[in-house]
Structure 1
């Protein structure tokens, strides 16, 4: 889990107790934007991995697996 996901859960629970402050609402938007980018990046790598598998490009598939591992740890796609 990335820190942004933890903060997103915290803001969700704060919102359950009452309305968010302006600062919390801005932070929520930031977390949602980062989560959307993270999901998009994961899906992009997954789709590329499926293509690599279909064309039996094992080297590319290994590179994509490394990218996905770094993405899951850091939240950013590495520039390999």
Structure 2
């Protein structure tokens, strides 16, 4: 899980108890922006991976898979 995913969950939990402060709203917006960027990048790489697979370009596919792995959170 990325840090922005954890913070989104924390903020959402706070929201159930009380209204957010302006700073919390700003953080939430930043986390949503980070999540959107992450999701679109991953979608793009997955689509490129499919293209590489369909064209049997396994060197390119390997590069794309490495890019996808780099996007994943470190354990």
Structure 1 stretches lacking a partner, 5+ long: 75-80
Distance in 2 of aligned mates of 1:68 and 1:16: 34
SS of structure 2 residue aligned to 1:32: helix
TM-score w.r.t. the length of structure 2 is 0.95
- Structure 2 counterparts to residues 41-52 of structure 1, below 5 A: 41-52=41-52
TM-score w.r.t. the length of structure 1 is 0.90
Aligned length: 74
Structure 2 stretches lacking a partner, 5+ long: none
RMSD, aligned α-carbons:
0.9
User: What is the match of residue 39 of structure 1?
Assistant: 39
Structure 1's consecutive aligned runs of 4 or more residues displaced over 6 angstroms after TM superposition are none
